[in-house]
Chain A
Amino acid sequence: MTAALTAAITLDHVSVRFGDFTAVDDASLQIAPGEFFSFLGPSGCGKTTLLRTISGFVEPTQGRVLLDGRDMQGIGPNRRPTALIFQNLALFPMMSVADNIAYGLRVRGLSRRERNAKVESLLDLIALPDQGGKRVDELSGGQKQRVAIARALAVEPKVLLLDEPLSALDLKLRQHMRNELRAIQRRVGITFIYITHDQGEALTMSDRIAVMNRGVIEQIGDGRTIYEAPRTAFVASFVGENNAFIGRVVASEAGAAVVETSIGLLRGRNARGLVKGSEAVLFVRPEMLRPNPPADHQWIAGQVAEIAYEGSLTHVAFAAAGTGGLKLTMTLARGDTAAIPAAGTEAAIGYRAEDALVLPRETFGQD
């Protein structure tokens, strides 16, 4: 209970249903003050609904949302200590940059002097000093982004909610804004909740990530945990590239499991303790595969289909021998590329059993 009191946000068995459709299904989590927390998932997974529930635009059908330990039920978005940054930013086009930033301050009845001082310091924070008089449509995409952040920060929220705010920017700017967002968050020190379908964004910026699928939070953890120790087949396949072998557990012992797949028996880490007979998926990351493996590796025979050179990395498409015509991806760093067999040649690739994960199949591969 003490954790609930100190947490910036607590979701307590929150479900949101629209008619027959369940947008969020029994979500529970706690977010610490000052944390950069991301919800990651494909479109339609319920992450935006969850964000709107936290900001107060949607009331949960079941469960409670607590901000700073206070139950938010019946408290509208205009009276919650949260500020939302919309996907399309929703800046007010008929107002100047300064008036946009000052909007929440005007609502709170601050005097002109106080407003101006605050706006000025925020313009400094977002590195747009002396741009307050400009019209919103005179700004570039990245500048608009920063104005939206300043407008939200002006009301001194305890929690800043960001709904895929970078998705409209081009790649270069997006990467730049990631760093900037992170820097702003460190400077103001409040909780950021970030919604994205872009795993790169989630992994690079967040302290912790919640991966969502079909309204369910599948896993919560820091980037390393999510990537290296996914708990479900969905997380393993959605975050990062992964080679998946669907099959059935035929033996399990001492933390390892053997899965019978369409290309033969493969061994991997039995992280979820699956018993013999369970339907399972064995995942191997492309960077864990290597050509000409030593004898203690798990071997996969087949043919090199294609080699894609990408500078620091080289991606090899590998067609495994056997039924199903499985295509694998192997990624090698620049120093290891000498060992790649030429395209079209028969070859074997392999991985260490402890670098593969055996996870329950659930609905994986069925849609």
Chain B
Amino acid sequence: MHSSAGHSLILALPLLVTAGFILFSLLERRRLGALAPVSFWRRNGIAISTYLVVAVGLWTVIMIVLPQLYMIDLSLRPKLPPNQVGGPKDVYTLENYRYFLYGSTTSTAAWNTTHIKAFFLTIGASVLVTLLNFVLCYPLAFYMAQVTTRARVRIFMLLLITPYWVNEVLRAFAFRVLLGSQGVINTILLKLGLIDQPIDFLGLDVGLYAGLAYAYLLMMMFSLYNAIESLDRNQVEAARDLGAPWWYIHWSVVMPHAKPGIASGATLVFMLNAGALAAPLVLGGPRTLWFTPIVYDRFYQAFNWQQGAAYAFILLLACIVFVLLVLRLFRVGLGEIAR
């Protein structure tokens, strides 16, 4: 990607996005006919509409689309010394993606097991942490949304939010202090005589999972709370009146109603977990190789941005595919999540 091409892209893309907007609104008008709501342009006026579209378009393009495009481009190029960039050797290649699967060309092993293992461990552990989050949050969310009073809900909200004023790295280290072999919990257990050897919580990855579960708890919490809050209490009572035991009410009435919220919470938590960096770096046991630190190392230890970009993309794509599959499995549309 060279500067002149880059510049023209920055200028052209907002115009393209604007044109796309207009095209969509025309299409919508044609499809719905007289039923169409007042159009975006008519409602806001040409000047403000243009400003909004251009501003949002620029934002989207510069902050989201361009960097990603640049990273995709980067991931498809070989790592070269600066004086050879743009030279005859600077051609598109899948070398960086190949490396993820098979490792270095000089390696004797058939597969790049270290990285592949870390990759699947990351996905699997993220799924587990997401499930753990759901199990932790659902009862509290239901209690807050359906059972308790408004005043109590406010207190719960405060209690939930304030711990997150502490930054992520500090929270991760707090877990270390809590769970380390000379940590608070081990000390107490030793003093009480419940154990005679400190338990290696960090080595057993208890710290990692606890830290990850805690890090994105709120995402799950608020998604569930919002979804359950909109459930008509009479539905729960009607189910109860018809003889349903409590667990069946949750299974047949509350969860189906909250499905979009569950999906959006789970998607968020899963994505954030798979991409988490601080908790795995600080709390990961010695045998745990999380995928994100590997990506980080490509960039800053190996100084191989091309490979780092490729790794990041593998993770991103895998997560998107996985999430879409799960959504399909549970019959939730992408549109429902956004509600």
Contacts and interface: CB of A to CB of B under 8 A. Distances in A.
B234 A90 contact: yes
B241 A83 contact: yes
Interface string B228-242: 000010110111111
A79 interface: yes
A88 B235 CA distance: 10
B114 interface: no
B238 to A, nearest CB: 4
Interface string A85-119: 01110111010000000011001100000000000
B258 to A, nearest CB: 11
A92 B237 CA distance: 11
Contact of A107 (B232, B235, B242): B242
Contacts of B241: 55-57, 77-78, 82-84
B248 interface: yes
Interface string B211-244: 0000000000000000000001011011111111
- Residue of A90, A104, A155 with most chain B CB atoms under a 10 A cut-off: A90
B25 interface: no
Contacts of A267: none
Contacts of B234: 86-88, 90
Contacts of B237: 57, 77, 84, 86, 90
Chain B at the A interface: SS class: helix
A107 B238 contact: no
A76 interface: yes
B198 to A, nearest CB: 48
Interface in B222-272: 232, 234-235, 237-245, 248, 252-253, 256-257
Contacts of B238: 84, 86, 90-92
B66 to A, nearest CB: 42
A151 interface: yes
A90 to B, nearest CB: 4
Given A94-B257, A103-B252, A78 B240 contact: yes
Contacts of B235: 90, 92
A313 B270 CA distance: 71
A107 B256 contact: no
B244 A107 contact: yes
Contacts, number: 58
Contacts of A152: 242
Contact of B243 (A55, A86, A108): A108
A92 B240 contact: no
A82 B257 CA distance: 26
Interface residues of B, number: 17
Given A88-B232, A90-B232, A155-B243, A107 B253 contact: no
- Among B240, B245, B253, max chain A CB count under 10 A is at B240
Contacts of B243: 78-79, 104, 107-108, 155
A84 to B, nearest CB: 5
Contacts of B252: 92, 103
Contact of B253 (A87, A92, A155): A92
Interface in B254-306: 256-257
Nearest to B244: A107
A92 B249 CA distance: 11
A106 to B, nearest CB: 8
Nearest to B246: A78
Given A57-B237, A94-B256, A151 B232 contact: no
Contacts of A87: 234
A103 B242 contact: yes
B179 to A, nearest CB: 42
Counting chain B CB atoms within 10 Å of each CB, the highest count among A55, A107, A152 belongs to A107
B256 A155 contact: no
B38 to A, nearest CB: 26
Contacts of A84: 237-238, 241
A165 to B, nearest CB: 12
Contacts of A76: 240
A198 B256 CA distance: 36
A105 to B, nearest CB: 9
A229 to B, nearest CB: 36
Contacts of B253: 92
Nearest to A79: B243
Nearest to B236: A90
A151 B242 contact: yes
Contact of A83 (B242, B245, B248, B256): B242
Contacts of A86: 234, 237-238
B240 to A, nearest CB: 5
B186 to A, nearest CB: 45
A94 to B, nearest CB: 5
A87 B238 CA distance: 11
Interface string A306-338: 000000000000000000000000000000000
A79 to B, nearest CB: 7
Interface in A218-268: none
Contacts of A55: 241
Contacts of B242: 78, 83, 103-104, 107, 151-152, 155
A57 B236 CA distance: 11
A152 B239 CA distance: 10
B231 to A, nearest CB: 10
A77 B246 CA distance: 12
Contacts of B244: 78, 103-104, 107
A78 B245 contact: yes
A256 to B, nearest CB: 51
A76 B239 CA distance: 12
A94 B252 CA distance: 9
A91 to B, nearest CB: 8
Contacts of A77: 237, 240-241
5 closest residue pairs by CB, A with B: A90-B234, A104-B242, A90-B238, A94-B256, A86-B234
Given A77-B240, A86-B237, A92-B253, 4 more contacts: A76-B240, A84-B238, A86-B234, A107-B243
16 contacts: A57-B237, A77-B241, A78-B244, A78-B245, A84-B241, A86-B238, A88-B232, A88-B234, A90-B232, A92-B238, A92-B253, A107-B242, A107-B244, A107-B245, A108-B243, A151-B242
Interface of B: 232, 234-235, 237-245, 248, 252-253, 256-257
